[in-house]
Amino acid sequence: MGLISDMATREGDATVWNLHLRRELFEWEKLQMEKLMEDLQNSVFEGGEDRWGWKWSRKGIYTVKSMYKELWRERQSEQEPHLISMEFPWKKRLPLKIKFFLWTAYLDRILTNCNLIKRGRAVDPICSACRLSNEDVTHLFLHCSKTLEVWEYLLRPRDSFYANIFAADSIEEWINAWPVGPTTELGTKIWELLPFATVWILWKCRNCRIFQSKEKMVEAIVVEIKGTIWYWLGIWTRRNHYRFQDLLLNWEMLLKVP
């Protein structure tokens, strides 16, 4: 990072920019660079020292609220209007850090390989689990071959719904289409938490694979998802009427719809 004066020189009435990039741009970054250069050419120089400014608030000062509004405005302009509201997943009975994680995942802001590259990191874009496709949010949580094994295992009691995963273009769309669950008391609670616990554990397993070089089998991932659901159910006063073994041994019976 340098001063504006290090990157721009005046030649007559024109400004010539040299951003001193440290690597060659990817093809998809070239369009972003063109847009940036257009914005820079329209900039007006003022006297004084360089300073930071935040254009999405009237006082020019960064706030979480202004960032939240801008991210959501940007997201709405890119997506179809039928997608879930900005209140989701905040109204779900989930740990706060899980709500934040899901929100950033819905906005495609979590640090998948593809998003790391967009931020200028030189990493391999290929998914570390299947080695078949680039790791973006949709691939990681829905379409990776190992991810599909996990979903297939968990959704065996609802196999007709499992087929819909191949048509889903985002986590939002997949969870927004989540059908009504079973009518049993415990089954209903499990079904409501299942998609969120699955996405969370898939992310944890991905990080474990990358940072600790530990690969978990599908069966172990499924048990961890069930354990996470059971832990989250700790705030439910009637959980003491059931046992964790019910999730391990009677999964299909709990989630089956009459």
HEC sequence for 6-44: HHEEEECCEEEECCCCCCCCCHHHHHHHHHHHHHHHCCC
CA dihedral 110→111→115→118, nearest 10 degrees, is: 120
- Tokens found for residue 13: 């009435």
Greater confidence (62 vs 82) lies with 62
141 and 92 belong to one structural domain? yes
Whether 47 maps to a domain, the answer reads no
pLDDT band of residue 95 (cuts 50, 70, 90) is: very high
Work out the average pLDDT over 42-64: 79
Question: In the chain, pLDDT over 70 holds for what percent of residues?
Answer: 93
Q: Is the pTM of this model over 0.85?
A: no
Residue numbers of the domain that contains 10: 4-41
DSSP state at residue 256: -
141 and 244 belong to one structural domain? yes
Whether 193 maps to a domain, the answer reads yes
Terminal C-alpha separation, the chain: 62
74 and 152 belong to one structural domain? no
The pLDDT assigned to 129 comes to: 96
Contacts of 257 (CB under 8 A, 6+ apart): 157, 158, 180, 181, 182, 183
Whether 161 maps to a domain, the answer reads yes
pLDDT in tens, 7-27: 888 777 778 888 888 888 877
What's the domain count of the chain? 3
106 and 75 belong to one structural domain? no
The pLDDT assigned to 76 comes to: 63
61 and 139 belong to one structural domain? no
The pLDDT assigned to 223 comes to: 98
100 and 208 belong to one structural domain? yes
The pLDDT assigned to 64 comes to: 80
CA distance 26 to 125: 12
DSSP calls for 185-212 = HHHHHHHHHHHHHHHHHHHHHHHHHHHS
Contacts of 49 (CB under 8 A, 6+ apart): none
167 and 134 belong to one structural domain? yes
- Tokens found for residue 196: 């969120």
pLDDT band of residue 133 (cuts 50, 70, 90) is: very high
24 and 114 belong to one structural domain? no
The pLDDT assigned to 164 comes to: 92
The pLDDT assigned to 53 comes to: 83
The pLDDT assigned to 84 comes to: 46
Greater confidence (55 vs 221) lies with 221
Whether 201 maps to a domain, the answer reads yes
Question: 16 forms bridges with which residues in the sheet?
Answer: 9
Check pLDDT > 50 for residue 213.
yes
Whether 230 maps to a domain, the answer reads yes
Residue 253's identity, in one-letter code, is: M
Greater confidence (71 vs 133) lies with 133
Whether 160 maps to a domain, the answer reads yes
- Tokens found for residue 145: 């071959």
Whether 76 maps to a domain, the answer reads yes
Work out the average pLDDT over 176-182: 90
